Every structure is written in C-alpha cells, then in structure tokens.
C-alpha cells in the first residue's frame, strides 16, 4: 500500500508567483497534478496495487495564510488543484487497472480536527 501526499508548502510557495502574475493558478494546478500522475505511475511500476492520494487541505485555515491575508488565494488554488487531481487521478487509475485507489479528502480530516466535539 502506498500513500502519496503533496506538501502544503508546495502550494504556499507558489502563492507569491501567482500574486505577482508570474504563474497562473491553472498552470500551477496542471503542473502539480501532472507530477502526481507521474509519481502514481512510478508507484504502479514499483508494484503497488493499493494507492491512495491525499488532496490538499483547506490552506485558508492555516495561521500563516490568515496572517498574510492570503486566505482567498489559498482557497482558490486548493480548489483548482483538488479538482484537477480528482479528475486526472481517477482517469489514470481506471486506465492502469489499479485494484484499490482513492483520494483521501484532507478537508474532511481538517474540519474534523478543528471541530469542537
């Protein structure tokens, strides 16, 4: 079993370039999701048959994004990436005949962790 997760820092490090119009949200999300699919193929080639991919959690809830007043940007980037991730990885999984594949929704995890139970 393999679990693939992209670090939140990969997204947060791109925000300055996005804000400076050096990088579009779409091109960032496309590039990162393509890298994930490439890494999934490497995991399959290594013999993994059960593969799980964590999406990006809601970074707008992270103190750094709140302090930097970048919650809107973080929310937009995460949404764009997570949508592409979902679409691309399920197409890949179906074509690859992976026996067990799922997206781990980090939003649900974070909301549960932050909720007052």
Q: Where are the beta strands (DSSP E) in 76-116?
A: 100-104
Q: How far apart are CA 24 and CA 108, in angstroms?
A: 27
* 52-91: b (≥16 Cβ within 10 Å) or e: ebbbbbbbbbbeebeeeebbebbeebbebbbebbeebbee
Q: How far apart are CA 50 and CA 46, in angstroms?
A: 12
pLDDT tens-place values along the chain, 117 residues long: 999 998 888 888 899 999 999 999 999 999 999 999 999 999 999 999 999 999 999 999 889 999 999 999 999 999 999 999 999 999 999 999 888 999 999 988 887 877 776
pTM for the predicted model, two decimal places: 0.89
Q: Where are the beta strands (DSSP E) in the chain?
A: 2-5, 50-54, 100-104
């Amino acid at each position: 079993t393999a679990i693939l997760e992209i670090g939140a820092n990969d997204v947060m490090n791109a925000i300055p370039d996005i804000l400076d119009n050096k990088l579009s949200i779409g091109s960032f999300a496309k590039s990162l999701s393509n890298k994930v699919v490439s890494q999934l193929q490497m995991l399959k080639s290594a013999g993994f048959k059960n593969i799980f991919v964590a999406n990006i959690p809601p970074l707008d809830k992270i103190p750094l994004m709140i302090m930097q007043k970048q919650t809107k940007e973080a929310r937009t980037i995460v949404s764009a990436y997570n949508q592409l991730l979902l679409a691309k990885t399920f197409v890949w999984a179906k074509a690859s005949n992976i026996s067990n594949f799922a997206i781990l929704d980090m939003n649900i995890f974070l909301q549960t962790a932050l909720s007052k139970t």
